[in-house]
A = this chain, B = another copy of it.
């Protein structure tokens, strides 16, 4: 037990008591998102400028604030000793430092997939995580337009709509394919950095996507020939779908802890793996037998779906995940995301 864990005021977390509270929060917050969308639908506008303005910024800001304030109030009343980091309040601050310490901390994204939300594209969600000693111990993600509520709690597994355990295919999900990344679904996002340069994050990303997609003989023999390339426009949904087993590989840079905290809990409880997106500096990483756990605030993420052990005993699920991590690292370029000021 670390010193942090016995610091006065650090209560033993009663996850059995907190988990249902977090799920209900997710349901209520999801309903607020739908209301925000319906409000917009019903509104009459004087002119296009007003519509465009509502499209772009105001509607999102309004809903973001409302949902975050709702969650913040509920958490503060019930758990006044817990810390709280919300995407909205954090972004309004000056610093972009990593503010999570070892206290129980609620890390919230009131609305992930804001571009989708403004367009009525269903891939948006609220993301609610409780992190303790830097480990996400509860994760709730609600995508209300898809009727998909994801939830997970340490030791209790990952669930879709509280009834279907993840991954969706259960043990029939099998190991990762032997020739992965072939036959894998690869999820990735284009992001906000759109500079026209091979060295911008856009350039590095598209180069990497292309290597993952091209036939095996192409790209200097590195062609990954993935089964499909998918872009949903929400890091949180990408991660939830990886936990579901619907996405095999998710590779991304540039997100923040509130985008991924709940999803990491979901993925861990489902039996997935999450590490860093960038190939390690250590020249000998190809010889590694395991890979480092992701840094919550590291802004670089590579997630691999849950996998079962090979029945012939040749490989554990974890070993097949590590194998796929290396296959991805071989094919992607390093992304350039850091924490401002770090």
Contacts and interface: CB of A to CB of B under 8 A. Distances in A.
A174 B40 CA distance: 12
Given A174-B52, A210-B206, A223 B245 contact: no
Given A218-B195, A246-B122, A312-B47, A228 B190 contact: yes
A223 B202 CA distance: 13
Interface in A216-242: 217-219, 223, 225, 227-233, 241
Interface stretch (A2-10, A69-77, A104-112, A164-172): A164-172
Interface in A258-311: 310-311
B218 A196 contact: yes
Interface of A: 40-41, 43-45, 47-48, 51-52, 55-56, 115-116, 119-122, 146-147, 167-170, 172, 174-175, 177, 183, 185, 190, 194-196, 202, 206, 209-210, 213-215, 217-219, 223, 225, 227-233, 241, 244-248, 310-312
Nearest to A122: B246
A232 B248 CA distance: 15
B223 A310 contact: no
A172 B244 contact: no
B206 A223 contact: no
Contact of A310 (B48, B56, B119, B218): B48
Contact of A185 (B121, B206, B223, B230): B121
A145 B139 CA distance: 22
A172 B40 contact: yes
A292 to B, nearest CB: 27
A116 to B, nearest CB: 7
A322 to B, nearest CB: 18
Contact of A41 (B170, B217, B227, B310): B170
Given A119-B245, A122-B246, A202-B214, 4 more contacts: A48-B174, A52-B183, A194-B213, A196-B218
